[in-house]
């Protein structure tokens, strides 16, 4: 172990040894993140931190050599190459800044923050310490979306003209979610940071940035639906909702979010159904699913010159995305060669776009996205 005061962040590359990862926050998302680390030989989970003892007990048998603590200050004395921060978004700033100031590299779950001010304080803490600071976005590693991006970059379909993203949030199918997850999510909804448009909408706007670069103008139109009126008439979800935007390169995008609580989608994880279609000069490419398996079609389809090519054998579950994200973490720290995906400043750009969409909905008009570079 090393003392937190005066610690220098571990530099990249670290070489051939396993990457030592500590994790703070073991809520719902850990059910995807932790199995991915357990299955990666190049990663050693050295410690786990959560305020709830039962969550530590959940993962202790999977990582028998990992240190366990309910106190973040204890964790800051451990020897780790990087700390993954998986706590709820409202706590990102506090936890991330403490970990960065203690001299650790940090990977934090999306969304980066609830406000630009919070994001700026985390970015400043990373600059002070010289640590690597990035946001984890599993959509960048989802095999069908990776293939979609590869097809676009190949140029075989010509220049992109537009992108359409569809999300259906359902209440039937998928895994059981800890009620504490919904508690903080619905608390966020009260000040305009909704479960579907903010927490999940981050995914889609991050994907749009990854595919086509910065957004210059966006319009948000967000409604609300009472989730279970007979139990709590004040508990609402931020749908139906629509975002419409234009990238700096002229590509236009649409995100359509629908809440259909009685619809069933088969899923091992979240039950929402998402689809992404990019129309180009000569054809289109479509990813048919991300979170669920409701649509039993090929995970990727390409149309060109009157013919359709289908990809039936791509890995396409969220677990596959997280496994590839774990492999990326191992490669990044061991070799230092892959590009650092979604640095603090890059994630800030997505946050600014998302918050502009929310402001647009409140004002009832399209808004220019403030320059962030």
CA distance linking residue 94 with residue 125, whole number of Å: 11
pLDDT at position 185? 75
CA distance linking residue 346 with residue 119, whole number of Å: 11
Tens digit of each residue's pLDDT (9 = 90 or more) over 45-75? 999 999 999 999 999 999 999 999 999 999 9
Tens digit of each residue's pLDDT (9 = 90 or more) over 138-185? 999 999 999 999 999 999 999 999 999 999 998 788 888 777 777 777
pLDDT at position 372? 67
19-136+336-342 and 140-311+349-368 share one fold: no
Q: How many alpha carbons fall within 13 Å on the CB side of residue 59?
A: 33
DSSP tag of 236: E
- The number of beta carbons lying within 10 Å of the beta carbon of residue 278 is 24
Residue 1 pLDDT grade (very low, low, confident, very high; cuts 50, 70, 90): very low
Structure tokens at 251: 């590509």
Angle at CA 169, nearest 5°, toward 174 and 166? Answer: 120
* 304 has pLDDT over 60: yes
- Matching CATH number, 19-136+336-342, of 1.10.645.10, 3.20.20.80, 3.40.50.720, 3.40.920.10: 3.40.50.720
What's domain 140-311+349-368's architecture? 2-Layer Sandwich (3.30)
Every domain of the chain and the residues it spans: 19-136+336-342, 140-311+349-368
The structure's pTM equals 0.94
Residue 246 pLDDT grade (very low, low, confident, very high; cuts 50, 70, 90): very high
pLDDT at position 6? 60
């Amino acid at each position: 172990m090393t003392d937190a005061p005066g610690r220098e962040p571990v530099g990249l590359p670290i070489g051939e040894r396993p990457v030592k990862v500590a994790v703070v926050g073991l809520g719902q998302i850990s059910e995807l993140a932790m199995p991915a680390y357990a299955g990666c030989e190049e990663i050693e989970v050295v410690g786990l931190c959560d305020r709830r003892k039962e969550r530590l007990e959940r993962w202790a048998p999977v990582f028998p050599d990992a240190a366990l603590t309910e106190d973040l200050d204890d964790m800051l004395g451990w020897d780790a190459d990087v700390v993954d921060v998986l706590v709820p978004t409202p706590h990102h700033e506090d936890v991330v800044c403490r970990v960065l100031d203690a001299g650790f590299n940090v990977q934090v779950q999306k969304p980066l923050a609830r406000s630009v001010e919070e994001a700026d304080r985390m970015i400043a803490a990373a600059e002070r310490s010289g640590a690597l600071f990035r946001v984890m976005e599993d959509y960048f590693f989802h095999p069908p979306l990776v293939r979609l991006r590869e097809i676009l970059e190949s140029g075989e379909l010509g220049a992109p003209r537009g992108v359409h993203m569809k999300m259906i949030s359902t209440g039937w199918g998928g895994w059981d979610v800890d009620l504490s997850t919904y508690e903080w999510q619905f608390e966020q909804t009260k000040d305009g940071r909704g479960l579907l448009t903010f927490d999940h909408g981050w995914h889609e706007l991050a994907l749009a940035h990854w595919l086509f670069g910065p957004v210059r103008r966006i319009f948000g139109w967000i409604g609300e639906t009472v989730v279970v009126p007979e139990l709590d008439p004040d508990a609402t979800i931020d749908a139906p909702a629509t975002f419409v935007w234009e990238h700096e390169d002229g590509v236009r995008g649409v995100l359509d979010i629908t809440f259909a609580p009685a619809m069933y989608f088969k899923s091992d994880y979240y039950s929402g159904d998402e689809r992404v279609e990019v129309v180009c000069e000569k054809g289109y490419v479509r990813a048919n699913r991300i979170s669920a398996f409701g649509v039993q079609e090929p995970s990727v389809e390409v149309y060109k010159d009157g013919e359709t090519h289908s990809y039936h054998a791509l890995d396409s579950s969220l677990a596959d995305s997280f496994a590839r994200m774990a492999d990326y973490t191992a490669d990044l720290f061991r070799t230092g060669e892959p590009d650092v995906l979604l640095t603090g400043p890059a994630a800030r750009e997505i946050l600014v776009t998302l918050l502009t969409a929310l402001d647009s909905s409140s004002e009832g008009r399209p808004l220019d996205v403030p320059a962030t570079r």
